[in-house]
Structure 1
């Protein structure tokens, strides 16, 4: 018996693929190319992370309004409007010559593109509730894996060719293509007036304000935590209080923006916590892997992007392996444990690196383990966390919105935590290493003497000064490498705790 299918199934699947792929391509390319982008627009790391906070705040606000907008615009109108705004923001960012223009462009991109992933997941429900709907899940997960893998490779190529603006050009072309497919397959119907969600402007202000304060505190902690801990903690507490008010308000409304009262299921909440953890790891690793390969090991953008992208393709292999096993043995516990074990392998392999590491031999297998973790845990959770919401279309849609709102917090928290760890540990290692950076130290004297001899033929009297300068650069690079290894050692411990927890838990089963 042939299962019924959507009349424009292939076009709908292409729309789902592109919308979700753009989400991960966008996040990965901008994270990987952050350094060159900062250099071209004259932004400091602090300013660039502020742009990330602004994007996340706008994204959370937009995602919270998604169903409200779809009810009033219809799916086709919503997607076309979102793409138009996203492309405008990408054009502003790509044409930026300064930080102010780039910041504005990122805000516009967040306004248009924040709900792409949520839309892609909810659009799967337009397919008939038959086994063919699982095909939509496969396409969705494939887009996640490919977008995540292509991002560092494409960004590395664009940066190497001094064409960083093409990062935003690629995103714009992909979004316009998605809009073309959406025009052919998405419905235009709007929800009846008596079934629409409420607006709640005061709650929205609390949500936006709470998001900004908490994410701003996380961003500032990267730079000022040790000097201004009390004001940062107060800012975080104020933001958390506003977010608590939003939750309190929404749970008591007849027509809320998010039906939080119907989302309070242990299965969904456990999945939400696990999703948030995955996004924290995603944000932290997207930050730390380029630091390790470029700043600590000294490899070029092009080579580092190629190796990272190739390693992340393991996510695709992991998903299709999982998809072949699941029909015969659907129990999720083995996928969770395998995912965390592979992440532990990633951390364990990277903690063994030294300055002579080879990217293909030493880093590629570790990145492959990380890529497999992302898809095994996230895809499994996507299938498990929402099973209790399948019969409630509104709760399912709002559950997806809340999950993707939390993803913005998770990524921001991961980036801030990784940056704070790098700042702390590199400072500690730098202090320890500089204790031996003196003429009285035998190893330093020998290294300086050898470098001076090697440089004397070409630089004459300046050879000694240049030798000390090169040794100072090597000291900074060594401190960065040791700090990176500390981060991946923490990731190893976290992964082992995760594997034991998922083996013992009885909710997601």
Structure 2
């Protein structure tokens, strides 16, 4: 999207507030939903696979909306496009919040994806239109708004679950919509432009079909890889077939090739890869951390929400620290900053994998500070590296493409996290269950202790207590496995940073 002329009457301070209000909305909603995922699944009768399908539906509709972002702005104008997006986001929240079945919940999230996709890209592009003297402040406001929305998500989610039920997770976003509509009105007006659609309607249908099949393939990959690989192959062939039809019926024009040629920069392509890995890990963490805090460690819901918010509040602190260092006489290099972020993640995963059932809230809070440091330092350095060689005229398209990668990575992170927890839970539950028998001394001793500490319970009730402890231990071990794996992934990222430096 080419740079737009800046109005001489623009007032940056209201624009900064408007950018922040637009940017945080999607992150607030998704933060609350990820924290309350188990409650939502129980409320609509969904399993982990259906929950990941809802994430896929959100991501797919978001990708469709992002692909047409520029066209919608040109046809509707920037303000009207954002206002319609806010309305769609609210409508999706109403549908999901009143859902009685997994299908209705998935439909609500799909509508939210159509609306929410515009927020991140629109807010970031508005930063690029600020006067040069205010652009750094705009970046700070944008980044802090994202982290604030992510922090308030679990914090408010815990309060809502304690005060009511899971439906409040979606209803709570509705009071924020008037502020978002005000923010859309405050952003500079860019009227509709007379332009022809970039693609014919039939081409767009084939493109949608290919995107849907590819996203479905990503979502189904963990579930069907060993059981039904032929289904995955069929999805892949169908996606390739749709794309082949698109290319044959609508071959690329010279202008299309020029449109993409500007993005074929090594720094940009490697930056997209780093973005993808970071968002995948962050979304997987957002799904697994509530399970560990509530189900495995036994913390109450509000306290767990407050603990998880610590990570994002820490991220805000690290972001401000890094922004200050960038303005110093000797700003830190990009490669050392990315390496520092990776090492923080590795230390975070290693410390988390060493927790046990007696872990205190203070210890968990201190460890979560490291995760906040990884998010801020790695993403901010990646952003600098990714867009430094992109021409201003291609910045909008580059950021739109990056946001598509973000949506797909978040969806894939949730899908992989659900499958990982299912597989490891089944394995650990089976192994722990081998000692859940009258023939094992450990079981007899545990039952004997329960008879002493809980004399009013029957043996049947005591067996229920032991079964609950068995499930808790299996969940804890599965979470520890995830953090151990995350630590190794972080070390792999750290080892690749010098290689990335040589390539770009």
Q: Residue 382 in 1 paired to residue 350 in 2?
A: no
Where does the alignment leave 5 or more consecutive residues of structure 1 unmatched?
none
Which SS does the other structure have where 2:319 is aligned?
A: helix
Q: Residue 470 in 1 paired to residue 468 in 2?
A: no
| Preserved contact between residue 48 and residue 418 of structure 2 (Cα < 8 Å) | no
| Preserved contact between residue 271 and residue 508 of structure 1 (Cα < 8 Å) | no
Distance in 1 separating the partners of 2:486 and 2:249: 37
Aligned-residue offset at 1:179: 1.6
Match of 1:481 among 476, 479, 501: 476
Aligned-residue offset at 1:224: 4.5
* More displaced 10-residue stretch of structure 1: 14-23 or 325-334: 325-334
Closer/same/farther in 2, CA of residues 483 and 268 from structure 1, 3 Å limit = same
Q: Residue 106 in 1 paired to residue 109 in 2?
A: yes
Q: 1:56-71, aligned counterparts within 5 Å?
A: 56-71=59-74
Match of 1:41 among 40, 44, 48: 44
Equivalent residue for 2:209?
209
Distance in 1 separating the partners of 2:316 and 2:258: 33
Equivalent residue for 1:144?
146
Aligned-residue offset at 1:94: 2.5
Aligned-residue offset at 1:247: 8.6
Closer/same/farther in 2, CA of residues 351 and 79 from structure 1, 3 Å limit = same
| Preserved contact between residue 5 and residue 127 of structure 1 (Cα < 8 Å) | no
Match of 2:171 among 154, 169, 175: 169
* More displaced 10-residue stretch of structure 1: 482-491 or 374-383: 374-383
Which SS does the other structure have where 1:353 is aligned?
A: coil
- For residues 475-494 of structure 1, give each alpha carbon's deviation from its aligned partner in whole angstroms, at most 9, with x where no partner exists: 12111111111111110011
- For residues 249-278 of structure 1, give each alpha carbon's deviation from its aligned partner in whole angstroms, at most 9, with x where no partner exists: 999234549932321111111111111111
Equivalent residue for 2:16?
13
Q: 1:257-268, aligned counterparts within 5 Å?
A: 259-268=259-268
Distance in 2 separating the partners of 1:71 and 1:476: 54
| Preserved contact between residue 21 and residue 183 of structure 2 (Cα < 8 Å) | no
Aligned-residue offset at 1:339: 0.8
Moved over 6 A (4+): 244-251
Closer/same/farther in 2, CA of residues 331 and 240 from structure 1, 3 Å limit = farther
Distance in 1 separating the partners of 2:370 and 2:247: 37
Q: CA RMSD in A?
A: 2.5
Distance in 2 separating the partners of 1:169 and 1:114: 19
* More displaced 10-residue stretch of structure 1: 218-227 or 242-251: 242-251
| Preserved contact between residue 266 and residue 503 of structure 2 (Cα < 8 Å) | no
Q: Residue 286 in 1 paired to residue 281 in 2?
A: no
Task: Report the TM-score when normalising by structure 2.
Answer: 0.92
Equivalent residue for 2:365?
364
Distance in 1 separating the partners of 2:44 and 2:423: 27
Distance in 1 separating the partners of 2:245 and 2:147: 36
Closer/same/farther in 2, CA of residues 384 and 508 from structure 1, 3 Å limit = farther
Which SS does the other structure have where 2:356 is aligned?
A: coil
Task: Report the TM-score when normalising by structure 1.
Answer: 0.91
Aligned-residue offset at 1:409: 1.2
Distance in 1 separating the partners of 2:30 and 2:418: 17
Number of residues paired by the alignment? 497
Which SS does the other structure have where 1:388 is aligned?
A: coil
Aligned-residue offset at 1:244: 7.8
